[in-house]
């Protein structure tokens, strides 16, 4: 049980458990409490992975919790932006539809191919998650429309890369950084597990 209730896993879970507080603060007009709570919960997305790696507590459960927490959290961010800045959402309708469509495909395709939900934390998607976090914070002092457009385009690129990795390389390690990293990993495995003919002759 202690192996399941690690600090990193608890941080991931906290993004889901305390997410309703953001809705409550927003609907009641408590923007200061909303801002503070959002800052704390959003920071757990960085801390859970960092601590899991630092303390050697990386696990399949932790990666699943992180994925589920991210899904609820960032869908909620879209709602928060619409509630606070509807014009920013309306001017990015096309990008939003594209992003959520590709996002849905990134879940559907591994279900079809691998018979299970599977996600990859690529460098593009990790970086964009940080941008989403800061976009929400910066929206209190600047118009978020342009930044939202950039973020949605990057999300589309990131999810397309993820889908291509699924199709090309199968269920790779969830911490695979990019298509090129997956390709290099495949080549290295092929080299050492089934080395080229001339290398086998030499050995």
Which tokens hold the place of 190? 């092929």
| Tens digit of each residue's pLDDT (9 = 90 or more) over 133-178 | 888 888 878 888 988 999 999 999 999 999 999 999 998 988 899 9
Q: What is the pLDDT of residue 56?
A: 86
Q: What pLDDT does residue 200 have?
A: 44
Each domain of the chain, given as residue ranges in start order, spans 1-84, 85-203
Q: What is the pTM assigned to this prediction?
A: 0.79
Q: How far is it, in rounded angstroms, from Cα 168 to Cα 78?
A: 31
Mean pLDDT (the chain) is: 86
Q: Does 7 or 192 have the greater pLDDT score?
A: 7
Question: In this predicted model, what pLDDT tens digit does every residue of 8-34 receive, in sequence order?
Answer: 889 989 999 999 999 999 999 999 999
* pLDDT 10s digits, 63-79: 888 888 888 998 898 89
**Burial track 141-179 (b if 16+ CB lie within 10 A, e otherwise):** eeebbebbbebbebbbebbbbbbebbeeeeebebebbbb
pLDDT for 5-15, tens place per residue? 788 889 989 99
pLDDT level of residue 194 (50, 70, 90 thresholds):
low
């Amino acid at each position: 049980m202690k192996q399941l209730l690690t600090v990193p896993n608890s941080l991931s879970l906290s993004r889901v458990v305390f997410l309703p507080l953001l809705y409550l603060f927003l609907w009641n007009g408590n923007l200061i409490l909303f801002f503070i709570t959002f800052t704390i919960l959003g920071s757990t997305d960085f801390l859970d992975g960092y601590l899991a790696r630092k303390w050697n507590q990386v696990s399949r459960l932790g990666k699943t919790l992180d994925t589920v927490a991210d899904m609820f959290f960032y869908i909620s961010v879209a709602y928060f932006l619409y509630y606070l800045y509807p014009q920013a959402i309306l001017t990015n309708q096309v990008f939003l539809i594209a992003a959520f469509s590709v996002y849905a495909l990134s879940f559907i395709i591994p279900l079809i191919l691998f018979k299970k939900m599977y996600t990859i934390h690529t460098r593009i998607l990790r970086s964009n998650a940080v941008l989403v976090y800061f976009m929400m914070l910066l929206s209190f002092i600047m118009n978020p429309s342009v930044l939202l457009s950039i973020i949605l385009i990057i999300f589309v690129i990131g999810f397309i890369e993820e889908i291509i990795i699924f199709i090309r390389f199968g269920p790779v390690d969830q911490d695979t950084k990019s298509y090129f990293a997956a390709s290099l990993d495949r080549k290295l495995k092929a080299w050492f597990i089934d080395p080229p003919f001339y290398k086998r002759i030499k050995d």
